[in-house]
Amino acid sequence: MTTLVDRDKLIQGILIAGFAILLQRFLEQPYWQVLTKLDESITRGDSGRLIIAASFMVGLNALRALPVYVGAFRAVEGVDSKQKPMAILVAGSIISLTFTLLYLLEQGQWEWGVPLAVFLGASGLFLLWGRGVLKFWHKVIIIGQLLLGSYWLAIAPVLTPVGFGAGELSTGIKLAGQFLNAESTLNFVSVAFFLPLITIAIVTTGLIDNYQKIIQQINERKKRENQMQRVQLAAAEARVLQEMHALVHDLKTPLTTIRGLNSLIEMTAANDKQAEYAGRIEIAAENMNGMISEILYEDVREPITIHSLINYVRAQIIPEELEQRFHFDVGQDMPKISVNKVRLARALVNVIDNAVRATRQNVAGRVDILAVRNNGGVEFSIKDNGDGMSEKELDMIWQPGYSSRNSSGLGLTFVRKVVENHGGSIEIDSQPDKGTVVRITIPDGRGDGHD
């Protein structure tokens, strides 16, 4: 059963809203400064000081109310996105309960106009428009703009009958405006600040919403491109394998002819030397037939010594044509392993090729190929002192099609597939500018002997 409310976010929201009660204690002295400026405006008959006092009050009221709304809409983030009525109920409950406590503690008159206006505005922006798009700090900024704009309405005398500005300070400012014949000024100033700030809040929400949607579209497009790349790579790999299988399979026909004619030569050999050569041809043809079978059928396994496998790998590398130094080392008393020699050798060569490319720019480039016993199996280590890879690259190397050196991207994917088909494992450790170590572990041949 799906949980409709995230308890952690709900608790976080309540704690943030409750911070407003503590904050109110720290704002008592600044509120006294508002009264002082209000008294000065009346004493000097200066409506300008009255506007300054109103500005201080608006800022303090917005600061005091900010945790209430931030906490309420933080709690709403924990409500299932499909449960909009529940989200509105949660936000409304937290806001109303917190303001009730605030007014009870200061024994002030309940002022519902501004809190209701901000609640409705924030609900519209966050729940109906920006739900799931706006981040926490986005909401803090937008709520701050809504509060600053809405609390200016509390000093407008014209809005008093509809519940705006019923608090003691708001009432005092409006009475001072009446005394100074500045009621029209208060009405104008309140609207002059309200409209731009609310407009900015709406525009900010729209810009963030559009920005997040663009980012989402870019991510979705990138995801589709990656999926398409994987599909194309899989198709290319399948095509290559199909063509390779067809070509390799076609080799069986001339090989059969060679073996047949060689058998005839062996039977009609004029001397022992011809018979010996015919025997060697038969052995070579038999070996080639075994290689063809291993290429065509992944599950073909034959016991092989580690020395034989390493020699087979070395035969596919020509160190004389490369600038790097190569070092091969096979441990003592190595077990036999039952493997598909051609495919496992190809996997090892792929890893070695990567090491060669990584050390190409290193004048002291070195590639070490080691084979040692490891927990009843054999561990092959290919170590280089090349470019190395970052953690980000290490996280991506197993993705089909990924390549950091403009290759086809089939190498490591093929290597891991071959290793796992043999019941083995592969690990890669790398550090930028220090080199890479690839460890491939293959289980032994279950008692088929030793080197």
Which strand (E) or helix (H) includes residue 328? strand 325-330
Distances in Å between the Cα of 281 and the Cα atoms of 288, 311, 315 are 10, 21, 20
Name the token pair of 393. Answer: 């690259």
Instruction: Give the other-Cβ count within 10 Å of 396's Cβ.
Output: 13
Select from 192, 162, 163, 160 the least CA-distant residue to 174. 160
- Residue 131 φ/ψ, nearest 5 degrees: -65, 130
Q: Let me know: does 403 contact 416? Beta carbons within 8 Å.
A: no
3-state secondary structure of 272: helix
**pTM to 2 decimals?**
0.53
Task: Quickly tell me which residue has 């924030």 as its tokens.
Answer: 122
pLDDT tens for the chain, residues 1 to 451: 345 667 888 888 889 988 888 888 888 888 888 888 888 889 888 889 999 999 999 999 899 889 998 888 888 877 776 777 787 888 888 888 888 888 777 765 556 777 777 877 777 777 666 566 678 888 888 888 888 888 898 889 998 888 888 888 888 899 999 999 999 999 999 999 999 998 998 888 888 888 888 888 899 999 898 888 878 877 877 787 677 677 767 777 787 888 888 888 888 877 888 888 888 888 888 777 777 766 666 677 888 899 999 988 888 776 555 677 888 999 888 888 998 888 898 889 889 988 888 888 777 888 999 999 888 789 999 999 888 888 888 877 776 656 655 444 456 888 888 899 889 999 999 888 888 999 999 987 654 444 4
